[in-house]
Amino acid sequence: MCSSSISKYVQDAERLRALDELKLLDTPPEDGFEDIVHLAALVCSTPVALVSLVAGDRQWFKARIGFVPFQTDLDASVCVHALSEPDLLVIPDLTIDPRTRDNPLVVGEPFIRFYAGAPLQGPDGHALGSLCVIDSEARPAGLNAKQADGLRRLSRQVTTILRERRQNAQLRVMQAEREAKAIHWRNLFSQLHEGFVIGEVVRDGDRRITDWRYVEVNRAWGDLVGIPAERAIGRNVRDVFPGVEDVWIKEFAQVVETGEPITFNRQSNVLDRWYEGRAQRLGPDTFTVLFLDVTEHVLAERAARARQAQLLTMMESVPIGIMLAEAPSGRVLMGNRRLADILGHDTLYATSSNAYGDFVAYHADGRRVDASEFPLAQISSGVCERSTIEVHYQRPDGERRWVAIAGEAIRDDRGELVGVVVVVTDIGSRKDADAQQDVLNHELSHRLKNTLTLVQAIAAQTLRNAPDIDTAREALASRLIALGKAHDILLDGRADSACVAAVVRGALDLHDDTGCRFQITGPSLFIGPSTTLSLGLLLHELATNAVKYGALSVPEGSVAINWIVEGEGPEGTFRFDWRERGGPLVIPPTRKGFGSRLIERGLSGGDVALSYPTDGVTCTLTSPLRGLRVNE
């Protein structure tokens, strides 16, 4: 091969890259290579043997015997000629071979005369150098067969060492990467805010899964369950949590057996907590579980659903059409069944006051009621605090009904407009009754205004005193129920009065779970609409307090209710007594809420005596008969 071809082969970029990847150049001696050069010199009976690596600018000797320099320039290298040989390169007399006769090591010290070299193949097949033997005497016969075979075998051993060296280097790199990944993963694992568990199933002699143990757990999991994470590692779940439910064991066993992941949301009876998570198989006997403690979320959802159901139930029992909307958007939030009965369709949940055009109604003169004229639009837009209108409402079935719509603004404790309450009443009978037209109009208008004022006052006071919106909804709904029951009694009885006994029973029936909770006595007595509503609400507050804190909070508690009339004629006095018995020890309240203030308002300017003896709360109401508008 000509010198230019040899130079091109030596400088081949892929060959040089392969040599560089071995990281052998300029490294200290190693026994494996040293042993090989000694064996090569012994087998070939030469004073010199070298493991020579040919770089781009020099040849460097990884192992040498009988040769002082540790490297030479390429112009002094004979090994460069061995790189392209498929087998041994044997030059019996270096002084007469045209490739080597001018070599500095031939014409000068150490005056080498004989060379035999086997190319060293790297792991990728590139010739990186040679295993060579050198003599100071020419050898016309070269190497005998045994010597040549020995040199080949030793060169293959060098190649094996080079291959193993690269494999070891690759393994070290892979191990370092694995360790780095493991450290990175463990850091992520420990910093997860969600609980994370790696578990391993425990099998019996028949390979059935009987339990599982914790292999790894993170700090967040320990915080969730309330035990240090390190206490669980290596222990069975039954040891860590005695009494754990079998369903946990079975579900994680199923993940391991089938390989199918599961997502669960379940309560743990051991910890009395709710967890949400996902389990999946990690290996033949291992699995991972990501845990989230969702107890508060579950309880909040349940409470919200219960409150919503209760509120809807209560609203549905109110005998007047009621619609609630938020302000200032005017978005409709709620409408009850009575409203649907009146209007002939379900509540139209308009997203804003601009959508009120879906409510089709007409004035008395036949003009279409504009959307902006409805009390809901008037109040939510801030035009006014209250608004009323009577319209001929167009029902989907084609019938038109006269309805009275009255609305009032709801403001929070800072005075900001937060909502609108609207009362819708069917006034068709009033419109149709010619003889009592004026009287009925006056009475209904008065009744609506009083009711709306009372509803607004209840709503405002409830929102002002409630600690949160959910409590406010519950309290508002229950008070509207009490108000509705009082209205029922007025509507079912005389037009302008109600029987005291009916008011009492109507207000307290909801709380009489055994039929024996209340002992009610008193004469037949009729009271006017305002007093009926006030007495109904007052009884609701007394009963609610008794259910929460008093006699009705325990099975054996009861309440004695009695009323009498003292004196004769209009100058007489109405006396009403409420006495609780059999309840827990009474502790006087430290603050007065809206309910207590409502009780202390009494009836029609009368007096109230509310006391808290230890054996049961008592309340005595007295009021002049004249103020009650009664008829016996």
pLDDT given at position 70: 92
User: Tokens standing for 421?
Assistant: 């309450």
pLDDT given at position 441: 46
Residue type, 521: T
Peptide bond into 328 cis (omega under 30): yes
Residue-wise DSSP of 446-457:
HHHHHHHHHHHH
Cα(346)–Cα(339) distance, rounded to whole angstroms?
Answer: 8
Please classify residue 380 by burial: count the beta carbons closer than 10 Å to its beta carbon, then call 0-12 exposed, 13-18 middle and 19+ buried. Answer: buried
- What does pTM read for this prediction? 0.35
Residues in contact with 602: Cβ distance below 8 Å, sequence separation at least 6, in sequence order: 534, 538, 608, 621, 623
pLDDT given at position 471: 66
pLDDT given at position 434: 44
Phi and psi torsions of 338, nearest 5°? -60, -35
User: Tokens standing for 91?
Assistant: 């030059």
Q: Contact at 8 Å (CB) between 287 and 255?
A: yes
Residues of the chain with pLDDT below 70 are 1-7, 176-177, 179-196, 264, 266, 268-271, 311-312, 314-316, 352-355, 357, 434-496, 570, 592-605, 629-632
Single out the residue of 93, 87, 83, 90 nearest to residue 130, CA to CA: 83
Cα(151)–Cα(36) distance, rounded to whole angstroms?
Answer: 10
Residue type, 533: L
CA angle, 324 then 325 then 330, to 5°: 155
Residue 33 burial (CB count, 10 A) = 21
Residues in contact with 496: Cβ distance below 8 Å, sequence separation at least 6, in sequence order: 443, 528, 529, 629
pLDDT given at position 553: 86
